[in-house]
Structure 1
Amino acid sequence: MLSGFKKFLMQGNVIDLAVAVVIGTAFNAVVDSIVKGLLAPLIARIFNAKDLAGMTWEGFAYGSVLAAIINFVLVAGAIYFVVVVPMNHLIERRNAKLGIKEPEAEVDPHIVLLTEIRDSLAARK
């Protein structure tokens, strides 16, 4: 029973998820400070508002929604460009060094047939 639990914990998916949660939590403070300290006041100033969260239109507080969307886009972009892209690059370099090639994607025979029909029709014109 313990060996199965150990195997579960050592799977790549569990470790990747744990790392993602920890990094995401730590990075959230950085992104929050950027949004609250830089972007929110800048956007509020553009719309002549006191603060971003206080921006309203006929009773709808769209400022807080806008701040949440900006925060999400920044976190997603940072995670992608700071974590995902470098990891993919490292994996590609490791695979090239070990001689591991990416498997070829299977082509749907229907797509091949439709492509041949399209090319044949284009050749007739």
Structure 2
Amino acid sequence: MKAVVTRVTEATVTVGGEVVGALDKPGLLVLLGIHTDDTSDKADTMARKLHEMRLLRDDESCATADAPLLVVSQFTLHGDTRKGRRPSWTAAARPEHAEPLVNAVVAALAERGAHVETGRFGAMMQVHSVNDGPFTVLVDV
């Protein structure tokens, strides 16, 4: 399970012109990719890391700053570009495996008291963010 996490001042996800998820205050935009080998144990670990890692300004976490998270599924994080000119998606989990794990991460974040917004799994989404500085990290569990 991988996540590309960007510190943002605001972010929105739209599907077909409809806003399906939005942050209107500083928080984290999380692009979450599920690998074929990922399990629900990893979902809990990812949620804990996302909520507790000190990624916000002043060395705070979403837990300590009560900052929201916008979680967007992103199977392309597991694209393999080592050979040829086209990525291979064989390491990315199939939707029937990935969707429950994305939902498990979101549910585990909510259980921790986090305010979580989401995109729409499997949809063609437009993600707009105002980044809070050039701050993006890869979280891998």
The answer, yes or no, to whether TM exceeds 0.5 is no
TM-score (norm. length: structure 2) = 0.22
- Higher-Rg structure is 1
TM-score (norm. length: structure 1) = 0.24
| Bigger share in strand | 2
